[in-house]
Amino acid sequence: MNGLESEGPKLRRAVCPGSYDPVTNGHLDIIARASKLYDVVHVVVMINQSKKGLFTVEERLELLRQVTAEYGNVEVESFHGLLVDFCKERDIPAIVKGLRAVSDFDYELQMAQMNNGLSGVETLFVPTNPTYSFLSSSLVKEVAAWGGDVSHLVPPLVLEALNKRHRED
């Protein structure tokens, strides 16, 4: 047996990055689909200190851990820095992103090309389930803040967290 074989087969890894403030059913759909395509999916909350979230990074991580527990091959963590550095540190060659509509495409393409130019990491776009093509964390937060029904757009645990946060206001 040579040295390489003793390390076992290389796991195919991908990352699903985002702010996840909070995780929605749209995010979960992409994570679930990525988890079928890769051995390990790293769901990473990218920390952006200039953007104040509704939920703290720790709260977002906890919600993500609970709602992705059923997949078995999803690891949830946060990172402060460039996404390509997160990928380099963990030897991850692929970023998986959902594309909701043409309006997402311009910026996503720019980021994909920048990330590829910086480090060679590839971005794979997954077409969002049309049920969630209008869905974003920002809209969920706005509708929930005004008492609108978002129960069909987020997992029950997230709905509970949103309701609790708004009761605290």
Judge whether 137 counts as a catalytic residue: yes
Q: Is 115 in the site for ligand PNS (CB under 6 A)?
A: yes
* 37-56: contacts with ligand PNS (CB under 6 A): 46
Site size for ligand PNS (CB under 6 A)? 9
> Does 133 count as an annotated binding residue?
yes
Establish whether 166 is a catalytic residue. no
Instruction: Judge if the upstream peptide bond of residue 156 is cis by omega within 30 degrees of 0.
Output: no
Would you say 135 is a known binding-site residue? yes
Please indicate if the annotation marks 97 as binding a ligand.
Answer: yes
Q: Is 31 in the site for ligand PNS (CB under 6 A)?
A: no
Q: Taking CB under 6 A as the rule, does residue 18 contact ligand PNS?
A: yes
Which residue, 32 or 82, has its beta carbon nearer to ligand PNS?
82
Contacts with ligand PNS by CB under 6 A lie at 17-19, 46, 82-83, 111, 114-115
Residues annotated in a binding site for ATP: 19-20, 27, 98-100, 108, 132-138
Catalytic residues: 27, 51, 100, 137
